Amino acid sequence: MRTRGAVVLVLACAVATLSCWREKRQFRGAPAADARWAPVRIPPLQPGQPLPDNIKVGPYEGNAWAISEGQRLYNWYNCSGCHFNGGGGIGPPLMDDVWIYGSEPENIHATIVEGRPNGMPSFGGHIPDEQIWQIVAYVRSLSALESPDAVPPRNDHLERNAQPQPKP
């Protein structure tokens, strides 16, 4: 009886170890200057064979760490200055299902890198490419395009403002 209990316990522990999986954190990405020279291809016409569409899925699809980093960078680089916390204001809202320039990861990436008319600045060459992809993952999570189990349960902007008051 006791042996069977021990076996069940060991098996249960073995099954539990399956959940011990940690997603990969890539700290050392390519420098921003590399992305500066990436060609912008507006027309589909190309000399020779067309290049394969190598990026269909963002590299941080469903990566919880990247999405939370993206959330941090979204505020650091002042995306929130125009898009606010996704609701929009000066810039278009990011939480709805209206996408002027496409909702696929590579569309959003291109929008951030190239900039868009009427106010969206071009960030290519100013932000490392990895960070742009992290922001892409976060922006997609705003309109529930990312898997919900990877999205942070709590938004940083819900924090009470802790700006200390200057003392005399």
The footprint of another protein on residues 71-90 (CB under 8 A) is: 76-77
39-42 own/partner pairs: CB under 8 Å, 24+ apart: 40/114
Q: Does 32 bind another protein (CB under 8 A)?
A: yes
Q: Tokens representing 11? A: 């098996």
**What distance in Å separates the CA atoms of residue 151 and residue 147, rounded to the nearest whole number?**
7
Q: Which is nearer to another protein, 4 or 154 (CB)?
A: 154
Given candidates 63, 131, 134, 141, which one binds another protein under the rule CB under 8 A? 131
| Torsion angle (degrees, nearest 10) of CA 155, 159, 157, 29 | -70
Residue 25 within binding range of another protein, rule CB under 8 A: yes
Size of the residue set binding another protein (CB under 8 A): 25
**Which residues form the interface with another protein (CB under 8 A)?**
25, 27-34, 76-77, 125-128, 130-131, 159-162, 164, 166-168
